[in-house]
Amino acid sequence: MPGPVKIYGIPRSRAFRCLMAAEEARVEYELVPTDFTEGVKTAAFRAINPNAKIPALVDGDTVLFESLAINLYLLRKYGDLWPRTIEDEGRVFQWTLWTATEIEPAQMQWAYNTFVRPADQRDAALAAVGAEKLKAALGVLETCLAGRDYLLGAAYSVADLQVSCVLYTAWFNSFDLAPFPKVKAWLDRCLNRPAALRARNMREAA
């Protein structure tokens, strides 16, 4: 019998996203502790991910990197969150790519220059630019959540997981969500689900 899915990384990294997905998929998994400074440099890890970044996944003969791609794989193969129609599947891909291109770069520009880097390495101007770009993306979300609880309608789906697992950084680190009440309520729903809480407990205890 094949062993559990292996997720390489640490909870306080992008591997957190994959932990959320694995918990939602209810798949048996093993977190293989791999830090993003020294752990990724080993020959054994580079054989899994030549990019030398976490997370990475091994599921039998399947090896993947890129956190959001790993999530798509996990939720397509395991669990019951994958959409039932081609149309909603397309929307999952849309929100996944949108998150990677519109949310993450802006959020990280804000985060690196607000709390991630040491104070003497932060650039307040860059933080402000990142925050404005993030607000523009959140405005799109606010519009799309009008009249619905979740991105594809009434039920939580892979689309919600993909966006919310990335926006966790802004949500947890007190980005001003007051202008976006629908987004705030939606994030609260997504990130307080039992599976999300299990992943959060690993990250927030680290």
Question: Confidence band (pLDDT; 50, 70, 90) for 147?
Answer: very high
Q: What is the pTM of this model?
A: 0.96
Report the C-alpha gap between 116 and 131 in whole angstroms. 14
Residue type, 87: E
Q: For the domain 86-193, what is the CATH code?
A: 1.20.1050.10
Q: For the domain 5-80, what is the CATH code?
A: 3.40.30.10
Q: Tokens in use for 20? A: 């959320």
pLDDT at 26: 96
Domain ranges across the chain? 5-80, 86-193
Q: Which of 114, 159, 155 is nearest to 134 (CA)?
A: 114
Question: 15-25 and 158-172 helices cross at what angle (nearest 10)?
Answer: 140
User: Please, which residues have CB within 8 angstroms of residue 4's CB and are 6 or more apart in sequence?
Assistant: 27, 28, 29, 30
| pLDDT score of 1 more than 70 | no
User: In the chain, how many H helices and how many E strands?
Assistant: 9, 4
5-80 and 86-193 in the same fold: no
| pLDDT score of 206 more than 90 | no
The percent of residues above 70 in pLDDT, for the chain, comes to: 99
Residue 123 C-beta-side C-alpha neighbours within 13 Å: 6
Residue recorded with tokens 């891909």? 93
Q: Which of 175, 96, 168 is nearest to 134 (CA)?
A: 175
